[in-house]
Amino acid sequence: MTSPDETAQLCKAIVDELERAVVGRRRTLELVLIGILAGHHVLLEDLPGLGKTLIARSFARVLGLDFARIQFTPDLLPSDVVGAPLYDQRSAEMVFRPGPVFTQLLLADEINRTPPKTQAALLEAMGEGQVSVDGLTRKLPEPFIVLATDNPIEYEGTYELPEAQLDRFGMRLRLGYLSAGDETDMLRRRVDRAAENVDLNPVTTPAGVLAMRESLERVEVTPDLLEYVVAIVTATRRDAQVQIGASPRGGLALVQLARGQALLSQRDYVVPDDIKQVAVPALAHRITLRPELWVRQVSADEVMTKLLASVATPRTDPARAVTG
């Protein structure tokens, strides 16, 4: 059984190894790892060429997971994702051909380029770790993680992700451009190694990832912090700028992600700052703003940041309770 302290050390080793390939994105890598520890899927949303695909491939390698990629296109069918029964001439029987979703880490590339019917093929897989085809339910490998990317600026040939799909993602991250120093460092590393790709080393295994997830359950969350989470979620439902607030699933996700943040900070208890650090990535994509805000180009991240600042922070110190 992996202890929280062992998980914290392993997390640092994982992020250090990832940074050999992904330059200047340590906080993003930490947040993706927190999402994986919490048993959630992660949506990476930003412009092309900012390293979203590299991040997904690097995580698969360092965590020792089987990897598959689906390039979502307008003509992609649900059977292209989950698989379909095919007629086997040798046995004269219908044989199920598994789709690329039968993997441990799935890169759903440009997920908003495919119609809602095909997007929906992932809902059961993401929510329950299984797919149902022709009346039969098939379990997916464990762990099953979806890292999805979408491009927020192109509207031609794209489809808005429905709320039910967005709610299945534990967090949404936006990368942004590297600083000038980090971008120079990235170019220098590429020139120095004289090769296109970095050969990363596995730091753990699929069983190790599952054990790390179990250790998350031993991270303490005090009752006043649970009330704090509920207050944040409730604030999203009462704000005049928000048409639809965060679901109860959002509160559950926020608790688990805060536990993951505590582990990365090498603690086995959650403090209010852990919740604050993950609240915007955990909840902003779960709220629907009023249409007039879209016209004024106000983002859900901005609204969520203001809401977070408006909720009173608990004054108790869990560290004192743990040691006392």
- Contact criterion met (CB below 8 Å) for 63 and 93: no
| pTM (two decimals) | 0.88
Q: Could you say which of 3.40.50.300, 1.10.3720.10, 2.70.98.10, 3.40.50.2300 is the CATH number of the domain covering 1-218?
A: 3.40.50.300
Average pLDDT over residues 282-289: 89
Q: Please write the tens of the pLDDT for every residue from 12-50.
A: 999 999 988 888 888 999 999 999 999 999 999 877 766
Q: Please write the tens of the pLDDT for every residue from 302-323.
A: 889 999 999 999 886 655 554 4
Rounded CA-CA distance 79/18 in Å is 33
Q: Please write the tens of the pLDDT for every residue from 227-274.
A: 999 999 999 999 888 888 888 899 999 999 999 999 999 999 999 999
Q: Which structure tokens are listed for 121? A: 């093929």
Instruction: Name the residue ranges covered by the structural domains of the chain.
Output: 1-218, 219-312
Q: Which structure tokens are listed for 257? A: 């992600």
Q: Please write the tens of the pLDDT for every residue from 168-221.
A: 899 999 877 778 888 888 888 878 776 677 888 999 999 999 999 999 999 999
- Report the top-level CATH class of 219-312: mainly alpha
CA distances from 95 to 85, 121, 133 (A): 5, 20, 12
Q: Do domains 1-218 and 219-312 have the same CATH topology?
A: no
Q: Please write the tens of the pLDDT for every residue from 108-133.
A: 988 888 888 888 888 888 888 888 88
Among 65, 66, 69, CA closest to 14: 65
